[in-house]
Amino acid sequence: MRKETFNYKEVFNHPIMIHQLTDKFVLPFGVSLARIVTFTVIFLIMLIFRDFFTAIGSFMAGLTILLYGVIPYFVSGWLLKLDVNGKKLHLFMWDLMRFVIAHKIQKKVYANDEPVKYLDKKQIRFEKFVRKERK
Distance of CA 125 to the CA centre of its chain: 44
How far are the Cα atoms of 1, 4, 40, 43, 107 from residue 76, in angstroms, in the given order? 48, 38, 9, 10, 34
Residue 45 has φ and ψ, to the nearest 5°, of -65, -40
Question: What's the confidence (pLDDT) of residue 54?
Answer: 85
Question: What's the confidence (pLDDT) of residue 40?
Answer: 93
Q: pLDDT of 19-78, one tens digit each?
A: 888 888 888 888 888 889 889 999 999 999 989 888 888 888 888 888 888 999 999 989
Give the span between the Cα atoms of 23 and 1, in whole angstroms.
46
Q: Which of 9-18, 39-48, 85-94 has the highest mean pLDDT?
A: 39-48
Question: What's the confidence (pLDDT) of residue 47?
Answer: 93
Q: Is the pLDDT of residue 13 over 80?
A: no
How far are the Cα atoms of 32, 39, 113 from residue 92, in angstroms, in the given order? 19, 18, 22
How much of the chain is in helix, strand and coil states, percent to nearest 5? 45, 15, 40
Q: Is the pLDDT of residue 119 over 80?
A: no
